[in-house]
Amino acid sequence: MNTNFSVDWFFISILFFTGAYCMVVSRNIIRLLIGFEIISKSAMIAIITAGQLSNNINLAQTLIIIMILIEVIVVATGLALIVKFYNNYQTIDIRKLINLKG
């Protein structure tokens, strides 16, 4: 059970930057949401590794259960907004969000 905390957080930061790259580069809004999902998963792994290091794994599990619920609701809301955006604008290109400027 003696895993290496620093190796875990190194992989967490790689996953975080992969998700951030996906958000910066893509033009399709649904792909932005996939990047958002990857970043949320990396945050959850961070909580479990920190909880395991200080022998407090049960508190960390409780937090994860609630965070999964929050994540599902936020993703469902995001996709509902994207479908409504498609109904209004007939496209899902992010370069088209230029109506409000200044």
Length of the chain: 102
What track of x and - describes contact with other proteins for positions 30 through 49 (by CB under 8 A)?
Answer: xxxxxxxxxxxx-xxxxxxx
| Rounded alpha-carbon distances, angstroms, from residue 37 to 49, 59, 65, 100, 102 | 19, 23, 16, 27, 31
Q: Which residue has the tokens 């996709």?
A: 79
CB of 59 to other proteins, least distance (A): 6
CB of 19 to other proteins, least distance (A): 7
Q: Which of residues 66-95 bind other proteins (CB under 8 A)?
A: 66-86, 88-89, 91-93
CB of 60 to other proteins, least distance (A): 6
